[in-house]
A and B are shown apart, each in its own frame.
Chain A
Amino acid sequence: MKKIAACACLAWAGLGFLPQTAGLAQAATPIQHWTQPGGAQVYLVPSPGIPMLDVQLDFDAGDRRDPAAQAGLAGVTAMMAGKGVAAQGAAPALDENRLGEAWADLGASFGADAGTDRMSFRLRTLTDPALLKQAVALAARQIAAPSFPAEVWQRERQRLAASIREARTRPGTVAGIAYEHAVYGNHPYGFETTPETLAAISVQDMQRFYAGHVQPCRAKVSLVGAVTRPEADALVRELLAGLPAQAGCAPLPPVPEVQPLAAARQIDIPFQSAQAHVLIGQPGYPRSDPDHLALTLGNYILGGGGFVSRLTTQVREKRGLSYSVYSHFSPGLHAGAFTVSLQTRPDQAAEAVAVARQVLADFVAGGPTDAEVKAAQDNLVNGFPLLLDSNAKLLGNVANIAWNNLPLDYLDTWTARMQRITAADIKAAFTRKLDPQRMVTVVVGAQPAGG
């Protein structure tokens, strides 16, 4: 479901790969990095301006680690990790309600979710010493000893299954499911969480999954807030202290790569709705690809830059065909999809598809103009400080650097590297990555054009 939802995000998603650091530092953003004895890698940007702290702990335990028959395992494991804590020593067990009350009483929040690649735990708390101490202690208990209560899972499974069935009544969901199957084939990025796969998941499966992935030696911990390095080091130790220590940290099994599409494919699904939903795309590239920055800049021009992109200009501004039209890449540890998305009145679907395809084909074949590249660089480079002007944005950027093993000065060199990209670089990168002749096109709910 998360993956489906990801298809629906609007254009700034296209900038998600951008570093967002902290407005706190303008010229350079000093990220402190160290490795703890237990193997956890810590990344810190002190931000003393507001008495608050944000912490994100990332583990290689995202959806890509789901078994096919248990699609959704990572997501429900993260969700259920917030549904109760087992007794530990003198500390009594807490059920989901006691836990919710405890966090509310602290004015703090803590939770986990799973994306395609990562399982992320996020803590936001005030740094008043008494509150901070309690919040860290509670988060540590929750990380160490989630109780995965079976009766709560029964209930949550029913709720999730009902919401999946509800979502399938919407044209956007139907389009997203068909699209992901077609683009990813049997790669885990394309696994669909269904009532059936949820039925195949037990709390024992969650406990195994959790124990096998949420380990100190695999943790990437990012912190932004009003704490010093010694304080940060101590609190990260405490957060992870209850997890079993690992001797060494054997690599997790490799996950296969996404396979390129062999041929173009058109999927038309009849559907009775006020709009037709259109998705066009193919596997893109992994985040580690050296073309990443050129593709980021290029996609801003093609369909990521809000009102000023080619797709918006042609589909929305010139023809009034769609409220939302955009393109985006979703690079992860594997080749996440490149996707063009739009919605339009059913009888306009064919026209909108034709326009979008033409814009895409022209861009891949011809690349951007120098003027377009200059305008895009102006936006991304001038706007760079906007990506770093809050603790929350800074945390996202630090965690991005941590997760993708980027250099610590990544943010400091970003604008200079962006400035060096040329129209030829973008054209070459798009030609390497995209083939408009081998794309999936999903159209849900089209009608023939009226007479």
Chain B
Amino acid sequence: MPIPTSLSPSSGRLAALGLAAALLGLLGGCAGNAPPARDSATAQAEAPASTGPQQFRLANGLTVIVKPDHRAPTAVQMLWVRAGAYDEVDGTSGVAHVLEHMMFKGTAKLKPGEFSRQVALLGGRENAFTSYDHTGYYQQVPAGHLPDVMALESDRFAHNQWSDDEFAKELEVVKEERRMRTDDNPRALLREQLYAAAFVASPYHRPVVGWMGDLDSLQADDVRHFWQRWYVPANAALVVAGDVEPKQVLAWAEKTYGGIPARAVPERKPRPEPPQPGERRVQVKAPAEQAAVYLAFKVPRLTGVEPSPDNDDALALTVLSAVLDGYQGARLDRALTQGPDRVADAAGAGNGLVGRGPQLFMLSGVPAQGKTAAQVEAALRAQVKKIADEGVSAAELARVKTQWVASQVYERDSVMAQAQSLGSNWVQGLPLDADDRLIERLKTVTAAQVQAVAKKYFGDDQLTVATLLPQPRDPNWRPRKPPAGARLEDMH
């Protein structure tokens, strides 16, 4: 994806809550994070000489994480900002993502588009991603060009600058992105409505891409203000992985990012989600053939690698999701999508696990022909109840743990995946070695714990259900005759 402006479905919550949250996706989303920096820029990085990651902190507060991997002469730079849709306020939803787009539109030194042209000349690939919890920018380059892209990235972090006219054009691009990803995608609309219903006070109430009405009234200065407020060194982490030496990367970081003045990270209002006093239901009517249903249960989030009641439950819920849906032939497959009287064409489960805000455990399904969303809903809940009543087998438990351990080895094949993991861990405030430690923690989860969380968190009151009601398109619909007058409305 050479289009540098995606909302990242591949990182963080969006992916983890998808219909088919793969194990890797879950871990990727949950893994890593940034330890409170303990080293000064010049000081001792305590990591061993091997290929373990090392972490530093510049005097201006920027975190620097370096993961050497010398298999190939390439490197990836990722700049993670702990600011995403989660940091937006009513009326300017989508501004974090629009800013991500505008970061490609110039600096005091670079004209619009020049950033991408320079990265391209270096042989680089680049993109950026916005999620609820963070915004990230990356370039993959031949390792020798790492200092060049560090200079470019630090420049736009500190000096992003563009005209109102550039903003007006790019805002139309973002609206096209929303139309493509959400407005013409009934299941995305369903997810959007689910979040809006499940969260009332939490910023997760609003979609990352923003409401279309808010985009319509977004001003260039709204975007500039968001940048000024949140893009400060102490609110960002530079992650570099690949054929590099940590001390050298640190020296380059001092030279490029080090000159950015330190500023305080603004106060963050916690905006806690109030307790949910009872079940919520929403329906979405959209053109489709198949119904779909999402069930979202409020569950604890993991806030650290140390044992605690909530952390333990969060990990047990992730094991529960894998037992339900972690492999071909797992429980949801067998119970819902197989046999002569199967109720579903697809069924899935996923646990949010980590995030800056409250987390959800999601069950989802698409009814088989002749079956209803209500039947799928009942069947999904019955599978959780079965575990609450009867527990899980030792073989199931061992199986999902084996998969996680193997996935850690496979992840080492991709420097991108390693950088992604380190960056998202930093965003969540988790330590540098969070991935390994979480795997060790997952290995200790017992069948009794899985059964206990299946009993504890799946009642009616903490549940939000979103159902897609498929609508036929009007067979008599035809394009209207010009001139139609006002701008076209969106279809949904």
Choose among A155, A275, A379 the residue that contacts B342 (Cβ–Cβ < 8 A): A155
B290 touches A166 (CB 8 A): yes
* Chain A hits for B395, CB < 8 A: 101, 105
Q: Is A327's CB within 8 Å of the partner chain B?
A: no
* Chain B hits for A162, CB < 8 A: 289-290, 345, 368-369
A100 to chain B, nearest CB (A): 3
B3 touches A100 (CB 8 A): no
* Chain A hits for B342, CB < 8 A: 155
A166 touches B176 (CB 8 A): no
Beta-carbon nearest neighbor of B127 in chain A: A306
* Chain A hits for B403, CB < 8 A: 104, 107
Among the 9-residue stretches A58-66, A136-144, A252-260, A311-319, the one with 4 or more Cβ atoms under 8 Å from chain B is: A311-319
* Chain B hits for A344, CB < 8 A: 176
A104-B402, A450-B484, A451-B483 known; A166 and B288 CB under 8 Å? yes
Question: Interface centre among B72, B116, B170, by most A CB within 10 Å?
Answer: B72
B113 touches A379 (CB 8 A): no
Beta-carbon nearest neighbor of B415 in chain A: A389
A450 touches B483 (CB 8 A): yes
Question: Interface centre among A82, A271, A304, A390, by most B CB within 10 Å?
Answer: A390
Choose among B112, B140, B326, B485 the residue that contacts A450 (Cβ–Cβ < 8 A): B485
CA distance in complex: A166, B74 (Å): 42
Q: Is A159's CB within 8 Å of the partner chain B?
A: yes
A272 touches B338 (CB 8 A): no
A165 touches B399 (CB 8 A): no
B490 touches A274 (CB 8 A): yes
Among the 9-residue stretches B60-68, B84-92, B293-301, B406-414, the one with 4 or more Cβ atoms under 8 Å from chain A is: B406-414
Among the 9-residue stretches B215-223, B329-337, B432-440, the one with 4 or more Cβ atoms under 8 Å from chain A is: B329-337
B139 to chain A, nearest CB (A): 10
* Chain B hits for A384, CB < 8 A: 123
CA distance in complex: A272, B473 (Å): 7
* Chain B hits for A273, CB < 8 A: 184, 491
* Chain A hits for B1, CB < 8 A: 10-12
B183 touches A272 (CB 8 A): no
CA distance in complex: A77, B170 (Å): 45
Q: Is A446's CB within 8 Å of the partner chain B?
A: yes
Q: Is A186's CB within 8 Å of the partner chain B?
A: no
A104-B399, A274-B490, A389-B74 known; A320 and B327 CB under 8 Å? no
A104 touches B327 (CB 8 A): yes
Instruction: Scan B438-461; emit 1 where CB is below 8 A from any A CB, else 0.
Output: 000000000000000000000000
A274-B490, A308-B120, A447-B484 known; A158 and B369 CB under 8 Å? yes
A378 touches B120 (CB 8 A): yes
Choose among A98, A322, A390 the residue that contacts B176 (Cβ–Cβ < 8 A): A322
A50 touches B412 (CB 8 A): yes
* Chain A hits for B326, CB < 8 A: 104
Q: Is B179's CB within 8 Å of the partner chain A?
A: yes
CA distance in complex: A308, B115 (Å): 10
CA distance in complex: A168, B326 (Å): 29
Would you list which residues of chain A between 112 and 129 have a CB under 8 Å from chain B?
124, 126
B3 touches A307 (CB 8 A): yes
A106 touches B402 (CB 8 A): yes
A267 to chain B, nearest CB (A): 15
For the complex of A and B, 6 pairs with smallest distance between CB atoms:
A23-B72, A451-B483, A306-B2, A382-B123, A107-B406, A100-B328
- Interface pairs (23), CB distance under 8 Å: A11-B3, A12-B125, A159-B368, A162-B289, A166-B290, A169-B289, A169-B473, A274-B179, A274-B180, A305-B120, A306-B126, A307-B117, A313-B113, A320-B171, A321-B176, A343-B179, A382-B122, A383-B141, A389-B242, A447-B480, A447-B484, A448-B484, A450-B487
